[in-house]
Structure 1
């Protein structure tokens, strides 16, 4: 394998640990493990190292974003329900100034009205939703493309 170019932090928000069991009519039958395995494979093809973290706790996600500053070039985030409620996650992403792509399995704009607003989108370089697990792969490819066009600073580690 060739040398790794980028390190990407993948953050999965609340309830995503239930993928494969939770509302399969909305989220499909793919598990979080399946998504992470697919991202690792895609990351290898993009010469990128993937570190995936899932948490149901807002503070843990904020802490991971803060730590990313010293370890990663970019962030791929599915904030789950925190998309619509978390100013803390929004501020953390803005504060570390690392390129972030927001992803969602379902099309949040075709769902309940309260899901139509994202606090994360204004501080992300882009948002991809509605393509199921493929949203993650598309988001990773878009993030790595962005990093290749806008060379990132090196993490401190």
Structure 2
């Protein structure tokens, strides 16, 4: 599963100077293609609703599916997300288009996902998803 949190559905329109011009639909196709090249079947999803993301993580935990996760803003404060990630039995790779640790907003400098991740890929733009899928493929 490649899971994406709030506002990522606006990729290509939202702050292109930070997040680039690739749309969410284009990113989905790239992830499917990159995954195929690594022998992975990618199920790509995006939501602006925290409970929905938690349901998907619970499903991944129940099914033993590995996850690439860009939880966006929830990365920095959602203890429910922390708990859901802690239930995963297959590898989790955290990905961010920008590098939150280099952003001026201090709240972005911490992650509730990182303690559960086998790798973190941040600051490589959209290509970070390819790198995250490679990390995931290497971990399974």
Q: TM-score range by the shorter chain?
A: over 0.9
Q: Does 1:143 align with 2:136?
A: yes
Aligned-residue Cα RMSD (Å) equals 1.0
Q: Deviations over 1:22-48 (max 9, x none)?
A: 001110111111111011111111111
Aligned residues: 139
Q: Pick the structure with greater CA Rg.
A: 1
Partner of 2:78: 86
| Inter-partner Cα distance in structure 1 for 2:42 and 2:63 | 11
Deviation at 1:72, TM superposition (A): 5.0
Instruction: State the match for 1:53 in structure 2.
Output: 45
Higher strand share: 1
Q: Deviations over 1:7-29 (max 9, x none)?
A: xx010000000000000111011
Which structure 2 residue ranges, 5 or more long, are not aligned? none
1:68, CA displacement in angstroms? 1.2
User: TM-score, structure 2 length as denominator?
Assistant: 0.95
Q: Which has the higher helix share?
A: 2
